[in-house]
Amino acid sequence: MWRRAAEISGIEDRDTLLQAALTAFIQKEAARQLAAMGGTMPNLQLPPRERSAS
């Protein structure tokens, strides 16, 4: 698995490869969790947008 990941990513150093893999995993899981929370605040009212005086 290490060899395949190194081939795909171009990262040869195992520590760097592991860090990249964990970072990607954390980002993917965080996105999944945010998507799972979608629509959980039906009573949310957005504040009015302020327009700049230009």
pLDDT in tens, 4-40: 999 999 999 999 999 999 999 999 999 999 888 876 7
Vertex 36, ends 29 and 5: CA angle to 5°? 20
The residue ranges of every structural domain in the chain are 2-31
Please provide the size of the chain in residues. Answer: 54
CA dihedral 9, 13, 15, 16 (to 10 degrees): -50
Residue that wins the pLDDT comparison between 54 and 50: 50
